[in-house]
Structures are given as structure tokens and as C-alpha cells.
Amino acid sequence: MQSFAELNPSQRLLLGPGPSMVHPRVYKALSTPIIGHLDPEFLQIMDDIQQLLRFVFQTKNQFTIAISATGSAGMESAFVNMVEPGDKVIIGVNGVFGNRMSDIVGRCGGTPIQIKKPWGQSIDLQEIEDQLKQAGGVKAVALVHAETSTGVMQPLAEVGKLCKKYGALLIVDAVTSLGGVPVKVDDWQIDICYSGTQKCLSCPPGLAPITFTDEAISIAKSRKTKVQSWYLDTTMIADYWSDKTRAYHHTAPISMNYALREALRLIHEEGLEKRFTRHKQSSLELFAGLQKFGLTPFVDESIRLPTLNSIKLSANIEEAKIRKRLLKEYNIEIGGGLGDLAGQIWRIGLMGESSQKANVVYLLAALAELL
């Protein structure tokens, strides 16, 4: 019978588009003995996670939870609960994930109305209002706050107010921004915002933090048709996470919730403003060092994402070859371009625990030798 060696993966420095590095305290939490998912002690852990997620999302929303699935399930949950056949949804498409939103809306029977922009640019507020006027009766506007495929940070401060003017919901993808840059759910009047654990929260992938306003939950409850996904139906999940009902829905991934609680505790201890400053500073140090090699940012500074740094590459750089050597010789992972940007950019993630001065210095030293 075939035998299998003990698991022993290489020690990598994760500076790609995700996952990010994980703090030893989070690994320790993962190894904590499990208890039942309806045990009173675990229910208290769920309450702690909700409070800490409200802190990071900067919201008072009652329905603020961690879905038992990856960040992509957070995206799917947002749309399957809100979109019914015939609903119009305006979607900003300036990278991979706007296209994914459009696909899900179509699968729900909705009508995706795309605002397309070249990859590397953001969606203009006036363009959103023009579409709201032209389409009429729009159910929701959906935008990617931090486009992982390009490194663009979408301005959001005025979008929620605009959506309310036209009676539309605002749905925001904060997968690569939550915990690394400000995500002000209440101040920006966001109705649904979702993320993933493996980016700026520096927790292993496996959970999808998400928050719904009371209005959004009310819309889910008053649908004419059933939510097409039983597992992601918020009207049932809400009863599991409520401290009043605690109705069984599914067996939660106990260890992953332990890990998320500890990762969120680390953020709470550091403080949001200090954490945002650290991410910004790491990004500035990275670009300052890359300039010495003649490498420049792909995205304009006004909309540049400090957690996912996209680097424009010259034609003489064998980008895939250098990335492979970084991994093989230095144990450093960085990302290449996706879709329209394949072979044209590098994507360097400085998220959560990965966003450290020492990591930037090591990466720049490795690139100095390779370039």
C-alpha cells in the first residue's frame, strides 16, 4: 500500500494577491480544541466575532457575521439574497471581479447593467448617476472597493448618498480592503459589504465577513421568490447568529472561527488608524525602492490601493521567469497580471501581517539581485 510523507510545505513569504501571512497567535487559535457549534462557549465566540467585525466594518448593523465559506461566497450571498428575476443591477466593471458580479446577477435572473472602464481606472460618480437615470427602477449598484486584479481603490464616499437618491441599494466588495484601508459602512451608506479572511485580516481563507443593513435584511425577507441558495439564505442564517433565536442552520467551522476571532483581536489591539497608516507606509516604501529599478506604479496615486500594489513592467523584463526565481530561490510569492493585464504587471500584496518594513526590504534586495 502506498505511503504518504508527513506534510511539510515550504516556508514562504506571501507577498502576492492573497493569502497573506498569518500571525503566530492565529495559528495557535487554530490548534485550540474544538467544542460543539451550539455550545454556549462557542455562541459567545460568535458574539465576539460579530462585535469585532462591526468594529472593522465601522458599522452598527445587527446582521454582521462571518459566512462559513470563502470570500467568493460573500459575493454570491450579497446578490442571491437581493436579486430576483428582472431586477436591474448597475455594476462597475474595471477588472476581474466586476465581471464576476455580473455573472452572478445574470444567474439570479437579474439584468446586469455594466459601466465598463479600462483596467486601472475607477468608476466615475457621474457615470453611475447617468446610468441610474437612464435605466430607471434600479435595484442596486455594485462596486469593487479594492480591485485585486488591478490595484485600484474605488472612491465610495459619495456613492451611497447617490444610491439613496434613486432608491437603489449599494453593494460593495471589500475583499482586499477590509482591515487594510478604511471601510466606512455606516458613513458611506453601504447596504451590503462583504470581504474574505485571507487578505488584510491575515487569517487563513475559509470565512467571508459580511454585513447587511436592516433594510437589506427586510428586502431579503419580503422577496417574491425564494433565495436560490439554501445555504446562503440570510433569513435563515440570521436566526443562527442571533443571540435570541440560535436556530440550527449548519455546523460552523469551529477552528476557523477561533482563528478569525484572534485575527480580529490583533486588529483591535493595533487600532484601525495605526493599521491603515502601516499599510500606506509599506506601500510608499515599496514604490520608492522599485523606482531604483525603473519600475513604476500601474495605477494613478489618487486611486492607488496600498494593500495590493500593481507594478507596470517594461518589455525587457521576463516577469514570469523572475516570479518563479523569487519563489524558488528566495521563497517569496508575488502575483502576475490577470486577464487583460497578463504579462504586463506584477501584483505585490502588502496585506495585514505581510505589510511589514522587513518584508519590503527583503523583497527589494531579492529583486536587486534578479534584475
**Mean pLDDT over residues 286-293, rounded?**
96
Task: Return the percent helix, strand and coil in the chain, to nearest 5.
Answer: 40, 15, 40
Cell of 287: 514604490
Q: Are residues 215 and 319 in the same domain?
A: no
Nearest Cα neighbor of 113 from 146, 141, 76 is 141
What distance in Å separates the CA atoms of residue 249 and residue 230, rounded to the nearest whole number? 10
Residue 5 domain-assigned (yes or no): no
Residue 4 domain-assigned (yes or no): no
Residue 7 domain-assigned (yes or no): no
How would you write 188-208 as a 3-class SS string?
CCCCEEECCCCCCCCCCCCCE
**Mean pLDDT over residues 303-318, rounded?**
95
| Whole-number pLDDT of residue 246 | 85
Q: Which domain holds residue 323?
A: 13-18+272-370
pLDDT at residue 308 is higher than 90: yes
| Whole-number pLDDT of residue 242 | 87
| Whole-number pLDDT of residue 339 | 87
**Mean pLDDT over residues 167-189, rounded?**
98
User: Could you report how far apart the first and last alpha carbons of the chain are, in Å?
Assistant: 47
Residue 1 domain-assigned (yes or no): no
Chosen domain end from 267, 284, 306:
267
**How would residue 1 be classed by pLDDT, with cut points 50, 70 and 90?**
confident
Q: Are residues 257 and 363 in the same domain?
A: no
Q: Spell out the residues 6+ positions from residue 134 whose beta carbon is closer than 8 angstroms to its own.
A: none
Give the number of residues written for the chain: 371
Q: Are residues 65 and 37 in the same domain?
A: yes
Q: Are residues 164 and 28 in the same domain?
A: yes
The pTM score is: 0.97
| Whole-number pLDDT of residue 277 | 98
Mean pLDDT (the chain, rounded): 97
Residue 71 domain-assigned (yes or no): yes
| Whole-number pLDDT of residue 48 | 98
CATH of the domain at 83: 3.40.640.10
pLDDT at residue 299 is higher than 90: yes
| Whole-number pLDDT of residue 118 | 96
**How would residue 14 be classed by pLDDT, with cut points 50, 70 and 90?**
very high
Alpha helices in 166-271 (DSSP H): 214-221, 234-241, 254-270
pLDDT at residue 236 is higher than 90: yes
Burial class (CB in 10 A: 0-12, 13-18, 19+), 285: middle
Residue 95 domain-assigned (yes or no): yes
What distance in Å separates the CA atoms of residue 290 and residue 282, rounded to the nearest whole number? 12
- Rounded to the nearest 10 degrees, the angle between the axes of helix 96-107 and helix 71-82 is 40
Q: Are residues 150 and 226 in the same domain?
A: yes
* pLDDT tens digits, 189-228: 999 999 999 999 999 999 999 999 999 999 999 999 999 9
Q: Are residues 253 and 316 in the same domain?
A: no
| Whole-number pLDDT of residue 243 | 80
* pLDDT tens digits, 26-41: 999 999 999 999 999 9
* Residue showing cell 495605477: 299
Q: Are residues 222 and 248 in the same domain?
A: yes
**Mean pLDDT over residues 144-167, rounded?**
98
What distance in Å separates the CA atoms of residue 189 and residue 170, rounded to the nearest whole number? 8
* pLDDT tens digits, 241-285: 988 888 889 999 999 999 999 999 999 999 999 999 999 999 999
Q: Residue 334 corresponds to which amino acid?
A: I
Tell me 353's DSSP state.
G
> CA angle at residue 366 from 363 to 368, to 5 degrees?
110
Q: Are residues 286 and 219 in the same domain?
A: no
Nearest Cα neighbor of 53 from 66, 44, 72, 69 is 66
Q: Are residues 231 and 328 in the same domain?
A: no
What distance in Å separates the CA atoms of residue 190 and residue 170, rounded to the nearest whole number? 5
pLDDT at residue 340 is higher than 90: no
| Whole-number pLDDT of residue 194 | 98
**How would residue 181 be classed by pLDDT, with cut points 50, 70 and 90?**
very high
Q: Are residues 152 and 251 in the same domain?
A: yes
What distance in Å separates the CA atoms of residue 15 and residue 217, rounded to the nearest whole number? 37
E strand or H helix that includes residue 86: none
**Mean pLDDT over residues 286-304, rounded?**
96
Q: Are residues 315 and 181 in the same domain?
A: no
Residue 166 domain-assigned (yes or no): yes
* pLDDT tens digits, 42-100: 999 999 999 999 999 999 999 999 999 999 999 999 999 999 999 999 999 999 999 99
CATH of the domain at 337: 3.90.1150.10
Q: What percent of the chain has pLDDT over 70?
A: 100
Chosen domain end from 244, 267, 290:
267
| Whole-number pLDDT of residue 95 | 96
CA atoms within 13 A on the CB side of 21: 21
Chosen domain end from 267, 302, 328:
267
Residue 3 domain-assigned (yes or no): no
**Mean pLDDT over residues 8-37, rounded?**
97
Cell of 64: 454582521
- Domain count along the chain: 2
Q: Are residues 263 and 323 in the same domain?
A: no
Nearest Cα neighbor of 306 from 326, 287, 290 is 287
pLDDT at residue 327 is higher than 90: yes
**How would residue 315 be classed by pLDDT, with cut points 50, 70 and 90?**
confident
